Structure 1
Amino acid sequence: MKNNTIILLMISVVVLAAVVYTMTGGESPEDYIEKIEAERERQFKFIRFNYESPLTEEQKQSFTKLNFYPIDPEYKVKARLLPIEEKKMREVPLTDGTKEKYLEHSWAEFELNGKTQRLLLLQALDEPDKRNFFLAFADETSAVETYGGGRYINARQDGKNSITIDFNLAYNPYCAYNPDYGCPLPPKENLLDIPIPVGEKNYGK
């Protein structure tokens, strides 16, 4: 009986490892976590030291860390890329009351929390690489644990009809640190009715 239990446990561990391996795009779990942590360190150094940082010099003096949720590979999803046939320009409102124009390019459709989710991918008019997209979203953590104006992901097409969206890499816009900046707000299509408890938390929380 004990041997059977041990065998079942070993099988479960192997299956779980295989699932995590698939979710992390063929990387080992350790390599995936190391990659995310390295990106977080890069973000911190940029915000703390770079001259283009949104922080004022006074803020930089007391700035010691960025706040993140724990890394969860389940929130790295492979999405179906559904191009919009009749692409239109959209004037996206900014937090300072102005607007910026983006191209409505495609939908990213994926499964998360047992439901099909869909997000609108926008593209900057001056984007030189047509595989890169701007993804702004808000979710049920917004204005609670994360910035009320939403978070961003730099999304890049990685297949003919697919794109990987890693919510562990969700980051705050500049206006989360300094209200003097004007930042694009998520389009209404990207207001998720589920929590996304990964990525960057609100500044100062």
Structure 2
Amino acid sequence: MTKRNIALAIVAIGVLAAVIYMLTSADDQEVYVEKIEKERERQFKFLRFNPESPLSADQKNELNALSFYPIDVAYRVRAKMIPAEDRKVMEIPMTDGTVEKYIKHSYAEFELKGQPQRLLLLQAVSELDKRNFFLAFADETSGEDTYGGGRYLNLRQDGKNSILIDFNLAYNPYCAYNPDYACPLPPKENLMEIPIEAGEKDYIK
């Protein structure tokens, strides 16, 4: 094989690899979007039909859909977990003035929209699976497009020292739908100074 043929072969392989990558990426993106859409549908069905839903009977009858930001993969980030030096049980204020106890476990450090972020990961005192975490946060959309009391994420550690945070899955606490419920407020560490235009928007009554 001549040098020219070798060069053409290398180019052809490169083009083929690029095409395969683009097709694979498109497939992955499609699977990802479908996953988020299924979770949003599950959330809607729970609120609309489940006896444990925080919605009243009248609210259920009137609920036709939930409001979400468009799915944006940019809000899916890999965060480094930094163990809290003062890991301890802490009291998190609730919307009704009471408190609920959580373990101050770790900090999730990542970059979003070109800005470094550091959020506190909490763990329920009664949590049996030590890879499960609770993240309550507020951001620049809180009280505008999203619920003023913040939003939640249920997270699971999937790396040795890292965790995947997908804000497209951010959801409203029960008290966003019904003030009779008491919900944990985001700790001061989780008051983000950027807008998180992902996940569930405020409930329209």
Residue equivalent to 1:77: 77
Q: CA deviation at 1:141?
A: 0.2
Cα distance in 1 between the residues matched to 2:37 and 2:86: 39
Cα distance in 2 between the residues matched to 1:139 and 1:130: 27
Residue equivalent to 1:189: 189
Matched, 1:134 2:134: yes
Q: CA deviation at 1:58?
A: 1.3
The amino acid of 1:46's aligned partner reads: F
Uncovered stretches (5+) of structure 2, i.e. residues with no partner: 1-14
Q: What CA deviation, in whole Å up to 9, does each residue of 1:144-192 have, x standing for no partner?
A: 0000000000011000000000000000000000000000000000000
Cα distance in 2 between the residues matched to 1:183 and 1:28: 35
Q: CA deviation at 1:139?
A: 0.2
> Secondary structure of 1:119's partner?
strand
Matched, 1:166 2:158: no
Q: In angstroms, what is the RMSD of aligned CA positions? A: 1.9
Q: CA deviation at 1:89?
A: 1.3
> Secondary structure of 2:158's partner?
strand
Cα distance in 1 between the residues matched to 2:119 and 2:113: 15
> Structure 1 residues 27, 174: CA separation in 2 closer, same or farther (over 3 Å shift)?
farther
Mean Cα displacement is larger for which, 85-94 or 149-158?
A: 85-94
The amino acid of 1:110's aligned partner reads: F
Q: How does 1:8-157 map to 2 (within 5 A)?
A: 21=25, 28-157=28-157
Residue equivalent to 2:8: none
> Secondary structure of 1:145's partner?
coil
The amino acid of 1:197's aligned partner reads: E
Cα distance in 2 between the residues matched to 1:112 and 1:27: 24
Cα distance in 2 between the residues matched to 1:63 and 1:116: 38
Cα distance in 2 between the residues matched to 1:188 and 1:117: 13
Cα distance in 2 between the residues matched to 1:64 and 1:115: 37
The two structures have a TM-score, normalised by structure 2, of 0.87
The amino acid of 1:72's aligned partner reads: D
Q: CA deviation at 1:34?
A: 0.2
The two structures have a TM-score, normalised by structure 1, of 0.87
Percent identity, aligned pairs only, is 67
Q: CA deviation at 1:88?
A: 1.4
Q: What CA deviation, in whole Å up to 9, does each residue of 1:56-106 have, x standing for no partner?
A: 111111111110000000000000011113311111000011100000000
Uncovered stretches (5+) of structure 1, i.e. residues with no partner: 1-10
The amino acid of 1:196's aligned partner reads: I
> Secondary structure of 1:41's partner?
helix
Q: CA deviation at 1:27?
A: 6.9
